[in-house]
Amino acid sequence: MPASVIVGLQWGDEGKGKTTDFLAEQVSTVVRYQGGDNAGHTIVIGDDTFKLHLVPSGVLYGHITPIIGPGVVVNPATLIREFDGLISRGIDVSRVRVSHAAHLILPHHIALDKARESALAGDKVGTTQRGIGPAYEDRAARLGLRVEDLLDPASAAARLARVLPEKRALLAALGATDYAEAVDADAVVAMIATWGERLRPHIADTNDLVQRAYARKEHLLFEGAQGAMLDLDHGSYPFVTSSHPIAGGAATGGGIAPLQIDEVMGVMKAYATRVGSGPFVTELTDAIGERIAVTGHEVGTTTGRRRRVGWNDAVPLRYAVELNGVSSIMLNKLDVLSGIPEIRLCVAYEIDGRRVDRWPASSADLARATAIYETFPGWEEEITNVRAMADLPVNARRYVTALEEVAGAPIVLLSVGPERTQTIERAWRPLRHGAR
Ligand code: IMP
């Protein structure tokens, strides 16, 4: 049985929650390997919509162990709120396990995230203001507190006593206001003690759980948050998140070795979206963009911000397929394009009069890139009830085939609506590396 990684091939919000949920039936364990409550997964089952930020989507299945791995940054308040929300809807959360090594997002991280963004004024990254960057900064600086520290408030207090004076000075220098409570050591230690008591049964050595499930030959699913183009090293820096959404992140943040991974499923939408600042070569600021945003409900699950919308772009897509070693693709939200007379696909960039097929390594080059498009006739028909590729309108099939060709990997699942059942499944078995 394979270990599979699910990665976003764009700028996040590709619908990975639906992909994980669709595949979850076959797996024993779902591991979230990076990011924090900046992510948002929307899962629709019948009349129920679940919005999750931290808890892996597999929680909705009784047979799955949902794991929050060591590469994730955990805001305990969000996690407990999410547990309470799920419990109130009859979902059992007792199986959720959180790595003792995951780092904590504490109130001063959130205050710093907000203060930094305000200080950047016109150059904002457009973060979700959840404290993600500052928490990862402290992890790298070896100043962070980890989930295990929730179980030892006295040691947490000693560590905070070293950290908080520096944070107080930093917040003051950034011109922040209203942060007194965030740097009040006694208040934070009291919260840590309460969080620790609540989360104690969930805290575990998740690497051991992963490796034991692997040894039992169970199927494990590693769920990335955000997308390849928001990767700290490989995305459009500095307009990126502070972790590694790419498949390699599953090894560093999930507790699986690279050669234990059998399959990498990339997830993309039929068009592109981006939240926050940063280059977006195929961005649509016209009525078509508005129409896609409205039909596709392109509003952030975490921030409520309207997502920027654009045509699909083969340049970052090819790059993301390479970088992640993608063996198969799930294409989401094809139904959103129904009724658009003409669909465009960016196949290359023009930079200073030259055609460029590869994702520009330099952000200066990327800033000067314009799109070279291929145009495809659209389709009028509603496709939300289609369950087989052969039943799609011919123009929809042509567009899907073109996407598959530019991506260089097979599209094995196609989503034509938000429901778990609104999925076209093509002949497919988990692909081993090099089997293409
Ligand atoms: P941060 O992760 O909150 O630090 O935000 C950094 C960048 O990543 C910003 O442009 C955010 O809008 C973007 N971002 C973070 N999480 C998500 C997500 O789940 N979907 C889409 N964009 C995200």
Pairing outcome for strands 411-415 and 328-332: parallel
241 lines ligand 1 (CB under 6 A): yes
Q: How many domains does the chain have?
A: 2
Domain at 120, CATH number: 1.10.300.10
Query: Which among 229, 239, 275, 297 is the best mutation to test ligand 1's pocket, defined by most ligand atoms within 8 Å of the CB?
Result: 275
For residue 221, give the nearest of 256, 267, 259 by alpha carbon: 256
> How far, CA to CA in Å, does 181 sit from each of 174, 260, 352, 361?
17, 45, 52, 42
136 CA distance to ligand 1 middle (Å): 14
Give the closest residue to 158 by CA, choosing from 194, 189, 191, 200.
189
Would you give the DSSP letter of residue 245?
-
Percent pLDDT > 70 in the chain is 98
φ/ψ bin of 142: left (φ > 0), alpha (ψ from -120 to 50), beta (otherwise): left
10 Cβ inside 6 Å of ligand 1: no
CATH of the domain at 327: 3.90.170.10
133 CB within 6 A, ligand 1 = yes
Answer whether residue 62 is part of any domain.
yes
91 within a domain of the structure (yes/no) = no
Nearest atom, ligand 1, residue 40 CA: 19
pLDDT (0 to 100) of residue 428: 64
* Whether residue 363 sits in one domain with residue 229: yes
The CA 60 to ligand 1 mean position distance, Å, reads: 25
d(CA 288, CA 297): 14
296 shares its domain with 366: yes
Has residue 373 been placed in a domain? Answer: yes
Q: Which domain covers residue 255, as residue numbers?
A: 3-86+206-425
Poorest-confidence range of 51-55, 197-201, 314-318?
A: 51-55
pLDDT-derived band of residue 435, with 50, 70 and 90 as boundaries? very low
pLDDT, mean of residues 125-145: 96
Distance of CA 436 from the midpoint of ligand 1 (Å):
32
User: Which active-site residues does the annotation give?
Assistant: 13, 41
At 173 the pLDDT is: 96
Distance 170 CA to ligand 1 centre (A): 23
- Identify whether residues 125 and 230 lie together within a single domain: no
**Which of 183, 201, 219 represents a domain boundary (last residue)?**
201
User: Is the pLDDT reported for residue 156 higher than 90?
Assistant: yes
Final residue of a structural domain among 201, 233, 268: 201
Q: Does 95 reside within a domain? A: no
Give the tens place of pLDDT for each residue, 86-121.
999 999 999 999 999 999 999 999 999 999 999 988
Do 288 and 399 belong together in one domain? Answer: yes
